[in-house]
Amino acid sequence: RKEVEQDPGPFNVPEGATVAFNCTYSNSASQSFFWYRQDCRKEPKLLMSVYSSGNEDGRFTAQLNRASQYISLLIRDSKLSDSATYLCVVANDYKLSFGAGTTVTVRA
Amino acid sequence: SAVISQKPSRDICQRGTSLTIQCQVDSQVTMMFWYRQQPGQSLTLIATANQGSEATYESGFVIDKFPISRPNLTFSTLTVSNMSPEDSSIYLCSVRLLDRGSTDTQYFGPGTRLTVL
C-alpha cells in the first residue's frame, strides 16, 4: 500500500465553482501534513500546512482527520490560475512522503 | 524562504554515461534532500545529504549509483552514474528551513530534467 494515496482526477470545473478532494495516508504516526501545488514542468511549492483544527488561507480550506487518516483540500470560487496538480504531503520527522497528485483544471 | 538553483536544468545523455547535478542554496542549511519524480508519478526521496557526513540513502537507492557530495552548507551535488533509460526523470534538490512563526517548510529547486537515450 502506498504511504499517501490521492484521487488523480482530473477535476474539470468552471470558474467560480468549488472543488474538493482528499488524500489518505497509511502511517498513523505521521506528524505534519501539507498541501503543495505543482504547475506543469515546475517544482512543487508549499500551498499550506494542514492543522488538526483545520485551517483556511483565503479561498483554500484544509482539514485533517487523524482518526480516519485523511486530509482534504477545498478550493472556493475557483480561478483559472488554480489549475495545477495538488500534492498531498505527509511528514514523519524530516522525511516527506508525497501523493501522486490531484490534477485540477479550471475552465473559463 | 530559500532560493534554490540547479544546474543543468535539463540534459539528454547516452546510456552508460554519468551526469552530475549541482544544487546551490542562497542560505546555509543543515539538511538537503535529493528527490526523483518520474513522469506522472509522485516525488520519491533518493537521499538526505548532511554537511560533514555521508548521505543517507532510502530503500532502493545506493551510493554507487547516486553518489552525493555536500562540501558546505549551501551546496550539494548528485551524480547519476552509468545511466540507463530508466533513469530518465526529473531530479529535484530540496532544503528544509524554519520560517518566521517557527514553521518548518521544505523548498524545492526547479529540477533537472534528465533524458537517457
For B90, other C-beta atoms within 10 Å of its C-beta total 18
Minimum CA–CA partner of B110 in chain A: A43
For A15, other C-beta atoms within 10 Å of its C-beta total 12
Place of cell 511549492: A45
- CA-wise closest residue to A22 among A42, A50, A46: A50
The answer to whether A91 and A34 have CB atoms below 8 angstroms apart is: yes
* List of chain B residues whose C-beta atoms are within 8 Å of the C-beta of residue A55: none
Query: Pick the residue with more confidence: A31 or A84?
Result: A84
Q: Do A4 and B106 touch (CB under 8 A)?
A: no
Supply the DSSP string of A33-101, one letter for each residue: EEEEEE-TTS--EEEEEE-TT-EEETTEEEEEETTTTEEEEEE-S--GGG-EEEEEEEEETTEEEE---
Dist. CA A85–CA A102, nearest whole Å = 5
* List of chain A residues whose C-beta atoms are within 8 Å of the C-beta of residue B113: 41
Dist. CA A12–CA A6, nearest whole Å = 16
Across A37-66, average pLDDT: 93
In tens, the pLDDT along B9-65 reads 999 999 999 999 999 999 999 889 999 999 888 899 999 998 888 899 999 999 999
- CB half-sphere exposure, A16, CA atoms < 13 A: 1
Dist. CA B91–CA B79, nearest whole Å = 10
The gap between the terminal CA atoms of chain B, to the nearest Å, is: 37
Question: Residue A45: CB partners within 8 Å, gap ≥ 6?
Answer: A36, A37, A38, B108
* List of chain A residues whose C-beta atoms are within 8 Å of the C-beta of residue B92: 43-44
Q: Do A49 and B107 touch (CB under 8 A)?
A: no
Across A45-51, average pLDDT: 92
Give the sheet arrangement for strand A19-25, strand by strand. Answer: A4-6, A19-25, A70-75, A60-65, A55-57
Q: Do B42 and A43 touch (CB under 8 A)?
A: no
How would residue A51 be classed by pLDDT, with cut points 50, 70 and 90? confident
In tens, the pLDDT along B80-107 reads 999 999 999 999 999 988 766 556 788 9
Place of cell 474538493: A20
